Amino acid sequence: MSLATAKPEASPSSDDAAQIRRVTKEIEKRSFLTLATTSPKGRPHAAGVIYEAVGGALYIHTMRNSRKGRNIADNPHVGVMISIRKMPVGPPFTIQFQATAEILDMDDPRIVALIEDGKLKAIAGHGALEEPDGSFLKITPSGRIHSYGIGVSLLGLIRDPLHVGARSVDLE
């Protein structure tokens, strides 16, 4: 799945395509998100993590035996929320979506290539690559992407924050 285009069968309006570009740009500029997973017993777990956006996916370094890793090994469906501070007052803007997570070994050829190309510098440093239980999560967005505050008029948002701020678009 790519954040760059909308579903062709949905015949997206140019506004949808523009919104997907705005959201993609914001995701690529950031490096911190909240990742929600679910335990085998259905108990939710949310964790703040550093990520790197590459080619329509988000990559996270974690330990395979961490709560995130164990939960994803059992259930690859995750939720993602990225908070974006645009104004000094009021709530931050947000991007949220459901995704599929894949656990990749440190020696996975896809990870090795991304590291060699310098695309995972922000998450592969500080000794992460030497961790014996280390792995990477590849998070691929799916379905709809929801945002608050992105692509809307600031004046409209100030006047009517409950009705103006939310936007949703389908991903490819």
pLDDT digits (tens, 9 = 90+) for 9-26: 344 456 888 999 999 999
The CATH number of the domain holding residue 87 is 2.30.110.10
Whether residue 57 lies inside any domain: the answer is yes
Bridge partners for 46 per DSSP: 36
Is residue 72 domain-resident?
yes
Number of domains in the chain: 1
Both tokens of 92, joined, read: 């931050």
- Residues in a beta bridge with 133: none
Among candidate residues 165, 146, 171, the one with its CA nearest the CA of residue 56:
171
- Contact, 1 vs 161, CB < 8 A? no
Residue ranges making up the domain that contains 27: 8-170
pLDDT digits (tens, 9 = 90+) for 161-172: 888 888 888 876
Express each pLDDT in 27-75 by its tens digit: 999 999 999 999 999 999 999 999 999 999 999 999 999 999 999 999 9
Residue 113 counted as domain residue: yes
- Would 137 be classed as within a structural domain? yes
Taking a C-beta distance cutoff of 8 angstroms, is the pair 5, 172 a contact? yes
